[in-house]
Amino acid sequence: VKSIAVLTSGGDSQGMNAAVRSVVRSALFHGIEVYGVQRGYQGLLNNDLRPMDLRSVGDIIQRGGTILQTARCKEFVTPEGQQKGADVLRERGIDGLVVIGGDGSYQGANKLSKLGIKTMGLPGTIDNDIPFTDYTIGFDTAVSIVVDAINKLRDTMTSHERSSVVEVMGRYCGDIALYAGLASGAETILVPEVAFDLDVVSRRMKENFQSGKRHSIIIVAEGAGSGEDIAAGITQRNGIEARVTVLGHIQRGGCPTHNDRILASRLGDFAVRRLMEGDSGKGCGIINGELVVTDIDLVVNTKKPFNMEMYNLASRLSQ
């Protein structure tokens, strides 16, 4: 491998910059030329690539967002778009591509790999919805943002003996709600993976208030319903007013935690080394602290299992 490119795609996540830095500096360390693709697959189709040097990734390890910017590109979903992307890389003599992103970005990497481009995927999404890795880059930071927000909400909810519904991100995956819910002692966690009954949620809230609890926090992943609908449904059933907070894109910004920076740094370097060893069409991940690769085809065709053990624990502890 003489020359590689790196891009970030889909929704951004904290730690993407640390991953870009790692890919660029690891490649340069091994004498490989690196190009940064601006705005994800859209930039690839527009031939928007620039050579990266050591200094072009300076002062970014601590920054949220992505210096390469990102996009959700419709054209790249078509076979013609994918072929065009592969042609751009070939014409520039680029042997390998590191794609940092979530599920949609992995689908694109999978297609490019089938068109003969050596590709490596790095899991960059706050959702933690990529299988064959315990964690994705950005998830740890997003969870700590949610926990911090709930700490603040809890103060004022307790003063007023109120109930609060907090809507967090996660269209298909409830991991942000699950981890933040367990870490912040939420009374109820609602996720797309587990069916729930608002009658039970409402009854539980009422009983808890009657038994002397002074606040109630319900955390809902956006894929399980909107905060507004859940709050309205609860109030209708138990007569207790629930205040709604939608955390939205706040969860995707800000300084990455040390966990995300370290994960990104390890994975970026790993992806480059695997490309050098001739590997291609793989998603990189971390399982029980070990760096692993999995066929990207398998990654995109597998649903990440939901951690029911943790879900049940959160439920037992939030009486």
Binding site for Mg(2+), residues? 103
Write the CA distances from 132 to 107, 135, 198, 237, 289, integer angstroms: 15, 9, 33, 41, 12
Q: What is the DSSP code (8-state) at residue 305?
A: P
Query: Residue 10 or 96: which CB sits closer to ligand F6P?
Result: 10
CA atoms of 171 and 175, how far apart (whole Å): 10
Measured from the CB atom, the residue of 74 and 92 that comes closer to ligand F6P is 74
Closest CB 125 distance from ligand F6P, rounded Å: 5
**Residues identified as active-site:** 127
- Min separation Cβ 34 and ligand F6P, Å: 26
Among 125, 202, 265, 294, binds ligand F6P (CB under 6 A): 125
Q: How far is the CB of 222 from ligand F6P (least distance, A)?
A: 6
What would the x/- binding string for ligand F6P be over residues 88 to 107, using CB under 6 A? --------------x-----
By rule CB under 6 A, what count of residues binds ligand F6P? 10
What is the 8-class DSSP label of residue 248? G
- What mask, x for binding ligand F6P by CB under 6 A, covers residues 151 to 190? ------------------xxx-------------------
Contact 100, 137 (CB under 8 A): yes
Q: In this structure, are residues 96 and 4 in contact, taking their beta carbons and an 8 Å threshold?
A: yes
As measured in angstroms, the least distance from the Cβ of 172 to ligand F6P is 8
For residue 199, what are the β-bridge partners?
none
Is the torsion defined by CA of 107, 111, 114, 117 positive or negative? negative
For residue 229 the two structure tokens come to 């609908």
Decide: is 193 part of the binding site for ligand F6P (CB under 6 A). Answer: no
Euclidean distance between CA atoms 119 and 107, whole angstroms:
11
Q: d(Cα 162, Cα 306) in Å, to the nearest integer?
A: 30
Pick 193 or 269: Cβ nearer ligand F6P: 193
- Nearer to ligand F6P by Cβ, of 49 and 73: the residue is 73
Q: Considering only the stretches 38-46, 79-87, 120-128, 206-214, report the one whose residues sit in contact with ligand F6P under the rule CB under 6 A.
A: 120-128
Q: Which of residues 274-303 bind ligand F6P (CB under 6 A)?
A: none
How far apart, in whole angstroms, are the C-alpha atoms of residue 43 and residue 106?
A: 16
Closest CA to 285 of 127, 175, 122: 122
Answer positive or negative: Cα dihedral of 272, 277, 280, 286: negative
**Annotated binding-site members:** 11, 21-25, 72-73, 102-105, 125-127, 154, 162, 169-171, 185-187, 213-215, 222, 243, 249-252
Interface ranges with ligand F6P (CB under 6 A): 11, 102, 125-127, 169-171, 222, 252
